[in-house]
Structure 1
Amino acid sequence: SYMAPEVIRGYQYTKASDIYSFGIIINESLSEEIPFNNIPHDEYLAVEICKGFRPKISEIIPELLASLIMKCWDAKAENRPTAKELYQIIKKWDEEEVDSNSEIYSQM
């Protein structure tokens, strides 16, 4: 359930597949729920993941973070953010968190 769809299909691990896994781990960490915890981890789940099925994102996760997680889970590896882009986004949020007019401040 932590593997990117392309890895499930037999392609090699890439930085983009690591970004997919990063999104799964961030979602699990913030929601405190194991992905697909109510579904057997079998071939059916693997096929569904390849068709676009993703873990539920908890309502407690701020919208900006949920949106970033979903970008990490994009079905097309080339559409996922790079590690550098993730760093820049998170760094920007960190800098904006003290600004009471910022979107990240209002969601946290």
Structure 2
Amino acid sequence: MAPEVISGTRYSAAADVYSFGVVLAELSTHQVPYSDAVHPETGRALTQQPILSSVTTGELQPTFDATTPAYVKEWGNRCLATNPDDRPTTLELTLFVRELVQCSSTVSL
């Protein structure tokens, strides 16, 4: 869930862009976001409320696997920006995905 939605702001296309970033992170790590988040003092897994609070402030974001291509991490992190105005527009994201599809269709296996 996008930080602004957690805070009670009206849902927007920017929240969908944030969700796309979350999906990219999930595809990268093969894990549910924040499943490895632990309390720094106790070492125990974080519960939902501390996770939501940390996402709202930008202290916690989904992560990407080290083997994820740099351009995917870059776009994923742009989508995951805490401030909705810092995220790509849906048009920019559509053009990026189209470019990926075109590039992958030119590669023969």
* TM-score category (smaller protein): 0.7 to 0.9
Is 1:46 the counterpart of 2:52? The answer is yes
Higher alpha-carbon deviation: 25-34 or 61-70: 25-34
Aligned partner of 2:80 in structure 1 is: 73
Q: Is the 8 A contact 1:5 1:50 kept in 2?
A: yes
Q: Tell me how far 1:11 sits from its aligned partner.
A: 1.0
AA partner of residue 91 (structure 1): R
Aligned partner of 1:32 in structure 2 is: 30
Q: Tell me how far 1:94 sits from its aligned partner.
A: 3.7
Distance in 2 between residues matched to 1:67 and 1:42, nearest whole Å? 27
Q: Is the 8 A contact 1:31 1:60 kept in 2?
A: no
Render the CA deviation track for 1:29-49: whole Å, top value 9, x for unaligned.
Answer: 232111001243422111111
Identity across the alignment (%): 26
Bigger relative CO (Cα 8 Å, ≥ 6 apart): 2
Gapped runs of 5+ residues in structure 1? 100-108
Gapped runs of 5+ residues in structure 2? 38-45
For normalisation by structure 1, the TM-score amounts to 0.79
Distance in 2 between residues matched to 1:42 and 1:92, nearest whole Å? 36
Alignment of 1:1-108 (within 5 A): 3-39=1-37, 40-52=46-58, 53-96=60-103, 98=106
Q: Is the 8 A contact 1:57 1:66 kept in 2?
A: yes
Q: Is the 8 A contact 1:8 1:46 kept in 2?
A: yes
